Chains A and B, each alone.
Chain A
């Protein structure tokens, strides 16, 4: 296994910058998820690391080698594709053997390694089948087997679970995670599903528009999103973002809404909003940090219920507040009906404040 370093990585197609100055380090044995909406450059980044797409500028280091101009075959990587890319004319056995044959290993060693990989992935009975005779989950497993049979320096995975049905996806998610723990493998994993990234990765790199937005552990990204994009992209349901304005009332700093109400701030939060470049500030709050009251309590803000979504464990309530939709989770025993008047109380400790102009998180120094 090896570490991977991307330094000022750029990929342009004509005038379009698909990957923009991306720099990050994947430590040896780390599971890193590249996550972002479609077209954010995450798959392009992975293809650059794989060598399937030539880079425009920057450096890629795998192990201790700069691999910028190396062929994919010389980079000592393995890749799992979204559509599995199994060789349809070859049996499962030959699919697994192919990377070893290309490296000219002796026949008996190939046989040993293929059978070992098949045993680990519990598909010894499938070795003679052709890919088209396998279910989606089995195909996925063969693709994984073809990657691990070779013991590469880095595993690259391009949305490997997105073609599976929901139940199988959850199952394979834990299998890949287990696989990472057992092999201490360095894995770069591309996904558009933030839940996969949060649940599986040691670190996640959130990308948007070709730029790396934030690169940190899932817990850090979740607790301290650097900007409004990361805040709204990570977490489900999404963080509620309410545009407000800074003003002073009774000598203190408050946030006022166009709807007329205002929200007092804790001293720490006052410190944060003084950093804002203009008067515009966006308040961010996750569903679990907002309290729902049936009647007015001090510090709470009136809102109107839009929809109610019971999920069994919790009920998600969506409410209109200052032109934005706010997600609140409540215990299932609290009955709320659409169009009902409710009062929302924000947790000063766990609320996020963003600059309304730059969309960056405001931090107390």
Chain B
């Protein structure tokens, strides 16, 4: 008897050790990934508070001798020409991204709901056609879209960017939201309709609140996509007062080739909205609202 018990316990220890080995390997890997993603951002922050001279010094100053917020002051000062540009680019980016996000939610919500709930001729074909766009690299469409935009007179307008970002963001947004709607039991709507709601009321009053996490995830996705996009903004816009941040920063960079702190400060401020947006709304990604709605 005792030998059996011993063998069993030894087997258990060995299993736990092997498991622990994997767990530590996982932790080390995660730590490596964390450093890999965080270090450039930390370096961006450190550089942004250096003086122009300190930023190009070699060997580098790991922590600046004289930390300064001068670059930030310059960028945020509307009296200054650099500040004027930066604030205008920032506003342009915000405008384009917000309009893209709102339109993309307005289109994606009913589209995804229809794909999830209704059967109609060509439903599967349409759904895959929607995803087809994502199977090609974005640059392939650069020249055709530019020609198209010129033909309809949208070159050098923010409308060209909004339209382009919609065509890129919508497929995934619809796909993402459809997944959310698929997970909301259809009986909830049926119950609402029997309880006295019209089909539309059932959607607005019951389904919409439940799909809020999905809508927010979709919105963040669209916003980030539009906020970070570079190549189309670079191609479609040429007037300085229309540029969005990714392109604007590059202009700003080439005018002051050596102003690394200014560039890093601009980059940092460009990341702020996205990070804040994500931090504020991330709980919606995690929260599973439908839990307890029905018995599975």
Contact = CB atoms under 8 A, between A and B. Distances in A.
Interface in A96-115: 98-99, 102-103
Interface string A39-65: 000000000001110000000000000
A132 interface: yes
B294 A102 contact: no
Nearest to B206: A87
Contacts of B293: 85-88, 131-132
B196 A103 contact: yes
Contacts of A84: 294-295
B196 A102 contact: yes
Interface string A230-254: 0000000000000000000000000
Contacts of A103: 196
A83 B196 contact: no
Interface in B86-116: none
Contacts of B209: 89
A9 interface: no
A72 B291 contact: no
Interface residues of A, number: 33
A83 B290 contact: no
Contacts of A200: none
Nearest to A73: B196
A81 interface: yes
- Chain A binding surface, main DSSP class: loop
A268 B36 CA distance: 91
A54 to B, nearest CB: 13
Given A88-B291, A89-B289, A133-B292, A72 B190 contact: yes
Contact of B196 (A81, A99, A134): A99
B188 interface: yes
A132 B190 contact: no
A81 B195 contact: no
Interface string B190-209: 11111111110100001001
A74 to B, nearest CB: 9
A103 B192 CA distance: 12
Contact of A50 (B192, B194, B197, B292): B194
A89 B210 contact: yes
Given A50-B190, A81-B191, A88 B196 contact: no
B197 A102 contact: yes
B190 A52 contact: yes
Contacts of A51: 193-194
A102 B195 contact: yes
Which of A75, A89, A150 has the most C-beta atoms of chain B within 10 angstroms of its own C-beta?
A89
Contacts of A72: 190, 193-194
Interface in A134-164: 134, 136, 139, 146, 150, 163
Interface in B30-52: none
> Which 3 interchain pairs have the tightest Cβ spacing?
A132-B292, A102-B196, A88-B293
17 contacts: A50-B194, A51-B194, A52-B193, A71-B198, A73-B194, A73-B195, A77-B194, A79-B194, A84-B295, A85-B190, A85-B294, A89-B209, A102-B195, A102-B196, A132-B291, A132-B292, A132-B293
